[in-house]
Structure 1
């Protein structure tokens, strides 16, 4: 991806396998957000292809990618403050099931929608705040609602963009446990600075530096890679000279 004379991502090849727990890490300015925006259709690449389950989706609009199963969360909350978690999820689930604008006719009007909302509220530890306005929720609960919304879209590939960013320490554990318990059949690409979350969650990791893939491997390989220690993790002798 080029912006004038700036190359934000350069020949990045990334394969996320079915059911993966794949983390994308790298220092600020590495190109992580640009890459996610390319994958999800916010940006159109200068060159290259994006393939989802064998289908070239490079030119599809973001909403068309969602329909095909690629769903993301954002670094900054994208929520309706005046709605409750139950109302928000009812809207998403109804839309997903082709009911369009009829969600407002009463949450009990469609038993399947109500049942799915209850499942999500329980799974994401939102049941006790289900009927509170979003603007009144603790920040950790807002993050949980965002991931619940993404899962309500029935993704095959879920992109989690810094899910614990800004979450106070006291609310993080609930979020970490919920992320760890995401359905095994949903492939997850996690973009995150929190190394505790990355290493506890991922079974595959890609390190991006200056818009280019530095290396890729399992968590042990990444933790012990001298280049990664030098440019990102800040450990050891290499970092002191980096």
Structure 2
């Protein structure tokens, strides 16, 4: 079995005369904690949209666990274990966290048409939803409408939904974006505790999170890969400091 679970190979994305990604190659290893960083406009979101099927590349291909998925629809990629979260929170405001997670778990188990009954009658659905509520520190707000939750809790729920989809590859798109300082620690600890068998690609501007989480990093600049390496190598790279981290940046 290959050690690479997700591979972007020579991805090019053109929008008319604009090249948003230029020959981007990135390999995500099994169980990885891999961060994708770069300044605004570097092409990070475009790359994620290519990986998840929102966009079809102009050139190049995407391989998931040995299978070419370049032309595969987004929902089929999810079914194959490639799941993302979003920069902008996307939740069912009128539903509670318990109802939301029960719906997703039921869908995973082929019970979507009867999820409202499964919530009370299918022990497996209830147990899995309960596990996710505990894991993501949502048990105390399980019965509150989502619209009433603090923003940090909403982000936790979004990651819980992604994990309920039983991903093998999880793309975390700026999980702490917009989260107030007082709510960040809980989110950071939960991200750090994600299951080891899920390979994670993290897109994030918060360098404290990036350097505490990642075991490998890829730096995008102007749609192309500037460099890739360990966090230590990236922190010490003068090119990265010049274009992104800032000359005075230090991270351990």
The one-character-per-residue Cα deviations of 1:186-221 (angstroms, maximum 9, x if unpaired) are 000000000000000000000000000000000000
CA RMSD of aligned residues (A): 0.8
Provide the residue aligned with 1:48 in structure 2.
60
Corresponding residue of 1:234? 246
Partners of 1:2 and 1:184 in 2: how far apart?
35
- 1:176 is matched with 188
Residue 106 of structure 1: CA displacement? 5.1
Q: Is the 8 A contact 2:44 2:203 kept in 1?
A: yes
Structure 1 residues 88-127: aligned runs within 5 Å? 88-105=100-117, 107-127=119-139
Alignment of 1:21-32 (within 5 A): 21-32=33-44
Using CA pairs below 8 Å that are at least 6 residues apart, which structure has the higher relative contact order?
1
Residues 30-69 of structure 1 correspond to what in structure 2 (within 5 A)?
A: 30-69=42-81
Distance 1:107 1:72 in 2: 25
Q: Work out the CA distance in 2 between the residues paired with 1:106 and 1:16.
A: 36
Question: Which residues of structure 2 form unaligned runs of 5+?
Answer: 1-12
Most deviating of 101-110 and 204-213: 101-110
Aligned to 1:132: 144
TM-score between the two structures when normalised by the length of structure 1: 0.97
Tell which deviates more after alignment, 126-135 or 101-110.
101-110
Alignment check: 8 A CA contact 2:106 2:118 kept: no
SS of the residue 1:208 aligns to: strand
Q: Which runs of 5+ in 1 are unaligned?
A: none
Q: TM-score, normalised by structure 2?
A: 0.93
How many residue pairs align between the two structures?
A: 237
- The ranges of structure 1 where at least 4 consecutive aligned residues each deviate by more than 6 angstroms after the TM superposition are none
Name the structure with the higher strand share.
Answer: 2
Q: How many Å apart are 1:35 and its aligned residue?
A: 0.2
